[in-house]
Amino acid sequence: MNKWTRRGLLTTGLVVGGGLAVGIAIRPGNRLPGLAKHVASDHETLLHTWVKLGTDDSITVIVPHSEMGQGAGTALAQMLADELDADWSQVRFEEAPAIGDFANHSMGRGMLLAGVELPDMVVPSVQGLMIKTAQALDLQITGGSLSIRTTGEYGMRVAGAAVKQMLIEAAAIAWGVSPNSIEARESKLYHPASGRSGTYAEFATAAADIEPPVTPVLKTPDEYSIMGTHVDRHDIPSKVDGTAQFAMDVQLPGMLYATVRRAPTFGGGVDQIDDAATQGIDGVREVIRLPAVDGGGIVGAYSVPETVAVVAKSYWAAKRGIDALDIAWTKSGEEARSSETIFAQFARDIASGVDRQADVQLGDLPSAMTNAALTLEAEYQVPYLAHTCMEPLNATATVADGKCEIWVGCQNPLGFRSEVAAALGFEVENVTLHNCMMGGGFGRKAVADYAVQAAQLSAKVGKPVQLIWSREEDIRQDRYRPAITSQFKGAIDAEGNLIAWENTYVDKHEPAEAPLIPYQVTHQDIGHVASPTHVPFGAWRSVDHSQHGFFTESFIDEIAHAAGVDPYVYRAERLKDKPRHLAVLQKAAKAANWDVPLASGQGRGIALQESFGTLVAQVVEVSVAAGQTQVDRVVAVVDPGFAISPDGLTAQIESGIIYGLTAALYGEITIEEGAVKESNFHDYKALRMPEAPLIETHIINSHATTGGAGEPGTPGIAPALANAVFDATGVRVRRLPLNRPEIKLQLEDSRVAKA
């Protein structure tokens, strides 16, 4: 309770705006007057960066994260409201404005010091460091499954508890009683001895004069009343009647529409444009060549390649216009590249092992391999993947008089604002960014190219412009989940024990621990070699876990079969020192009736993956017939430490599973002549309702450190699926996706292996 991680920087009380508004700052050098003008109306009181109390008893939680479907706003509001003992029916949330004062310091702390406990005496300097880091990175990022485990734990809960204490002290002074004799329930304060009571709103102003507590007391789990309960998501009603505002729904007076195209071969530019046909299309206003932008030296920014745009009075005219352009692209030198030459390069670079970097080296691997009773080698491959958010990339901008206003749905509002400012040559203060709900994000909407283009176009034409990418551009100009090759060699002793694990793969990003295994293996050597390609990298739901989950959980399955042991039992035997891992694995096996045999042509596979602080075990059941794999059922067991919003977590796990299944069954971005071959949902397929399995999610609240929700459902589904296919058919899938023609042929030829 009194660890540094439970403290916020609650330092100063302050009256804002004619004595009505009250607040506390989260850091020295109070910034509330500045904040209040951005978020507090005349009838609201800003209490802490993340909460305001209205005179009508409403409580508004200000969320420094973007909404892309994950429902974090509601869960974060639950955390703050619970500590505040607020009346949930009066609680709402809104997204923090994209200004530097709302940079997400809690996330900075959580990211850089996750799980580290420090002596109290170093706390001030550590927190100061984190604030600086957050400012430097312009952190207002939604990603890494971090909202609840950092912002929620280090920000929302502390803020709620502190504000409650201040309100109690204000009431204690007014009533002339001890703070300890006052009780708080559902946004009201009670003094049982005298029978007095009052609403939070009544004491909000007086609370301004109270010194904020340095270490507000947080609740223990048995005291939670809102956390851990089911509450309806606040954003859902607007998503069933068409009123939810996505960036593409913004309509400005006099607005023009635009669409864009970049060189299909990554690295290429524009040589010549013949726009004769385009200029003849009714409604087309301008054909514009946008220069490349280097990202302005901003941390995390990507360069935006040269772009051709058509601006028109309607999207349809712009789309017809761009399709009618005859563009000659400059060569990038990558025109001979294909998926197969890229995989050949990976194989060469792994074989040469030049500059191999170790992730983990334990024991004496060479002698363990030499002394092994049996060694097993396998090579796995996964392809590039696109994100295909339901909402194609778009942004609406109006640039005039040295100022830019932009509406966009993005995962990093502060970063986008900086990049737009840099591209326009404006001071950041002259760019106002309105972050809208996102129709999916999955990592793609952390890259600002589409916002930069919209701002550039508005600046060029001198009118508001809504830029909408076609789905084809969305797929062909994505930032891709990397293709990877990963090679394994494992060794077992005469008793079947796994004694050595060797793994070399290409292209490491993050999280660093993604290729590591939870199993007890004495001798390990896991490492990577660089093998860069011209295909641009992007974070994709669960990032490196999306590949390594498939690799490591497939190979442990192969080892188990080689050792002649049930793959569930084999895993469990190697988790004796990891009770949380073992618990989710065992519960998944039990819930899925692991020991009950399936019919011929059916199979079960299991996988276990820890990612973003959350453990997930999955059991998949498949039916394979005529080369086709139907996923019948998925049982998932998840231990996030504590599920703040159980139904929200369940929905995230369901979502992560379907997202991962789409990739495992169909997902493949093919490189041909240096460019992406696929273009739309007909050739880059998404799982549809008839193919969707029944999903059964179980939650274990172990009360370990809170983990994430958005990504952990994804990494384990591909290996559990591949392991189930092996169980059903004896065919080992080592290259995804499953609908590759050669795998279908193998499945058609396979005899049922379960006999």
CB burial of residue 336 (10 Å; 0-12, 13-18, 19+): exposed
Binder of another protein out of 3, 37, 239, 576 (CB under 8 A) = 239
40 or 457: CB nearest another protein = 457
Per the structure block, which two tokens stand in for 640? 């996030």
CA atoms in the 13 A half-sphere facing the CB of 705? 15
Binder of another protein out of 30, 197, 680, 750 (CB under 8 A) = 680
The verdict on 702 binding another protein (CB under 8 A) reads no
Per the structure block, which two tokens stand in for 752? 């049922």
Binder of another protein out of 19, 119, 690, 741 (CB under 8 A) = 690
CB 4 within 8 A of CB 126: yes
24: β partners: 13
Choices 239-247, 333-341, 355-363, 400-408 (CB under 8 A): range interacting with another protein:
239-247
Residue 244 makes CB contacts below 8 A (sequence gap 6+) with 235, 238, 437
Binder of another protein out of 149, 233, 261, 561 (CB under 8 A) = 233
115: three-class secondary structure by DSSP:
coil
The verdict on 388 binding another protein (CB under 8 A) reads yes
Helix-strand-coil split of the chain, %, nearest 5: 35, 25, 40
A 10 A CB-CB count for 99 gives: 19
136 or 236: CB nearest another protein = 236
Question: Reading across the β-sheet that carries 59-63, which strands appear in turn?
Answer: 44-46, 51-54, 59-63, 91-95
The verdict on 655 binding another protein (CB under 8 A) reads yes
Residues of span 290-349 touching another protein by CB under 8 A:
314-316, 319
Binder of another protein out of 389, 514, 608, 724 (CB under 8 A) = 389
> What sections of 225-364 are H helices per DSSP?
276-279, 315-324, 339-352
Choices 1-9, 109-117, 431-439, 724-732 (CB under 8 A): range interacting with another protein:
431-439
The verdict on 477 binding another protein (CB under 8 A) reads no
The verdict on 283 binding another protein (CB under 8 A) reads yes
User: Least distance in Å: CB of 68 to another protein?
Assistant: 6
User: Least distance in Å: CB of 472 to another protein?
Assistant: 8
The verdict on 552 binding another protein (CB under 8 A) reads no
540: closest CA among 337, 389, 364, 723?
Answer: 389
> What sections of 477-521 are H helices per DSSP?
none
User: Least distance in Å: CB of 436 to another protein?
Assistant: 11
The verdict on 236 binding another protein (CB under 8 A) reads yes
The verdict on 421 binding another protein (CB under 8 A) reads no
Q: What sign does the dihedral 683-688-692-695 (CA atoms) show?
A: positive
Report the alpha-carbon distance of residue 505 to residue 379 in Å, rounded: 9
189 or 657: CB nearest another protein = 657
The verdict on 391 binding another protein (CB under 8 A) reads yes
The verdict on 232 binding another protein (CB under 8 A) reads yes
412: three-class secondary structure by DSSP:
coil
User: Least distance in Å: CB of 411 to another protein?
Assistant: 12
The verdict on 73 binding another protein (CB under 8 A) reads no
309: β partners: 260, 288
A 10 A CB-CB count for 192 gives: 10
Binder of another protein out of 14, 68, 204, 310 (CB under 8 A) = 68
User: Least distance in Å: CB of 695 to another protein?
Assistant: 6
Residues of span 713-752 touching another protein by CB under 8 A:
none
Per the structure block, which two tokens stand in for 338? 């294909």
Residues found near another protein in the complex (CB under 8 A): 67-71, 232-233, 235-244, 246, 248-249, 251, 257, 282-283, 314-316, 319, 388-392, 437-442, 468, 470-471, 647, 651, 654-659, 661-662, 680-682, 686-690, 692, 694-695
